[in-house]
Amino acid sequence: MQFFSTDQAAIRWLQLFALLLCVVISLSTEAAPLERSKQQIIVGGDHYHPPYEFIDENGEPAGYNVELTRAIAEVMGINVRIELGEWSEMRKRFVDGQIDVLQGMSYSDERAKVFDFSPPHAIVHQSIFARRGDPTVDVSGLKDKEVIVQSGDIMEDYLIEHQVGARLMPVDTHADALRLLASGKGDYALVANLPALYLTRQLGLTNIVPVARPFSLSYSYAVRNGQSDLLAQFSEGLAILKNTGRYQEIYDEWLGPLKEDGGIAWKLIGQVGAAVSGTLLLVLGSIVIWNRTLQREVDSRSKALREHQQQLIQADKMASLGVLVSGVAHEINNPSSLLLLNLPVLQEAYADCLDILDAHYREHGDFMLGGLEYSRMRDEIPLMLDEMLEGSHRIKRIVGDLKDFSRHGSTDLTEIPDFNAVVVTAIRLVDNSIRNATWHFEVDYGADLPALRGNAQRIEQVVINLIVNACQALENQQQGIFLRTYSDTDKMGQPQVILEVRDQGCGMDPDVMGRLTDPFFTTKRESGGTGLGLSVSAGIVHEHQGQLTFDSRVGEGTTVRLALPALKPARQTD
């Protein structure tokens, strides 16, 4: 038997130790980036600055800024901890490096020397508040006046930097500033407009009012100079939220309901609409009960009489619905007409001012306009006005469709629309429904489709109804929807333009398919379905002398085929 010497055993132990050391170093090297990727980012903000950021009744951070930060953290996969406190203290901790990011900070040139800012996620208007009956002033009129401001706020910085000459009275929060002014202390308060309006309503401060709105400032995420990687994460996350529509949802949830006095009474309109809807539901419920009673009484009568009676009932329902639609359309049409009347005037006014603004820009350099540099706003304002005008035209078109639906009349079927363009527009209008319903949506547009004659808006309405029905048929987002446009000929050899909408949803049994186009028939009654979509679509297709066919099997999905007659190509002569 051969034994190893003591030296040989030591060498083998050293080799084993070196191997283990290499493994540990390798694992540590691989784990380091992962550990760094999970490093917590501390985001700070004001503890009482509603609706932007505040601590709720449960002691948790809440508000527009907080929800926006959490959404950015989710889409970017970063770990954040939100801390709210007195604004002046949070700014000090931010400067000292104890806080990484401030989630809501107004931009100024002086602040930009110390901090870096993301693209703005809101525009904050600053207001001068006074007690009722006190004289109206602008910023220059604050000289020698006692002005209440929040400590560390942008307005305190502004008054100091520009040497306005006001006697400043710093307080911890906007609420403290407004309470102090309402109690008779100080001459004016210079605070952010939206939080101030929010707080005056919440605190019941009825003796103070805004008398001027001298500033509009960009409201952004801020980091200390040099932290470009950290700022890039929040800027990229904000861009993703804006492109996906999540930013607009958060903005509408927190800032949309807060309107200044004198605005459109949407809440009142909503209450009136709810009352009308309740009355309509009561009428419809009474009609349904009466219908069932009537059917039991006339069971002995002929089938033709029962069918005739059913037609009368459905006609009565359609008449009731038409009255409601016409009323709501009229209410919407009034503010829409105001926008359509005034927006072109604003476009012309801006165009007339452009030469003067450009001359000022060339002579004096860049300047602030609406809270942003003129060099940027010069191109942004026309785009904003165009988008607003386009949206107003869309509202007017929808209102027109509602009015057309609620009354009988002649329909212009003499247009020659681009069928593919109609489908593109319809998809754009229901894009949100598609994204919520499926991760698999595909469209195959046929090339060189023959022309057809009809009404583009009505065809678009049919396409929208077919896509929405396909979305509602899906049971999960893994199932898909597939659209295809192409041309074919019917049994008589006549050319047709065809849209095929195929879904991988639940499918239908033959009994349901036979009643799809009946007025008020729906399988989605519990979730708010009215049964009007396919009925109206079938009527529109019939007006265009087309066909709407369905092929479905339970558990295998549904295929809907919309076929419209195409124009015959003109004969070419030699």
- The fold of the 411-565 domain, in CATH, is Heat Shock Protein 90 (3.30.565)
Measured at the CA of 445, the angle between CA 444 and CA 450, to 5 degrees, comes to 145
Sequence-ordered strand ranges (E) for 429-546:
440-444, 480-489, 495-503
The CATH number of the domain covering residues in 41-256: 3.40.190.10
Contact 80, 245 (CB under 8 A): no
Note the residue count of the chain. Answer: 574
Give the list of residues 6+ apart from residue 342 with CB closer than 8 angstroms, or none. none
Distance between CA 297 and CA 343 in Å, rounded? 60
pLDDT single digits (tens) 390-407:
888 878 776 765 565 555
Residue 23: per-residue pLDDT: 44
Distance between CA 407 and CA 403 in Å, rounded? 6
Binned at pLDDT 50, 70 and 90, residue 458 comes out as confident
In three state form, how does the secondary structure of 376-438 look? HHHHHHHHHHHHHHHHHHHHHHHHHHHHHHHCCCCCCCCECCCHHHHHHHHHHHCHHHHHHHC
* Mean pLDDT calculated for residue range 126-154: 92
Contact 464, 429 (CB under 8 A): yes
Residue 268: per-residue pLDDT: 54
Whether the per-residue pLDDT at 2 is higher than 60: the answer is no
pLDDT single digits (tens) 341-363:
888 888 888 888 888 988 888 88
* Mean pLDDT calculated for residue range 140-145: 91
Provide, for the chain, the percentages of residues in helix, strand and coil under a 3-state DSSP scheme, each rounded to the nearest 5. 50, 20, 25
Whether the per-residue pLDDT at 71 is higher than 90: the answer is yes
pLDDT single digits (tens) 283-318:
888 888 887 888 787 777 766 666 555 555 555 555
pLDDT single digits (tens) 54-69:
999 999 999 999 999 9
Between 514 and 180, whose confidence is greater? Answer: 180
Question: What is the four-CA torsion angle of 20, 23, 24, 25, rounded to 10 degrees?
Answer: 120
Counts of helices then strands in the chain (DSSP H, E): 17, 19
Contact 190, 162 (CB under 8 A): no
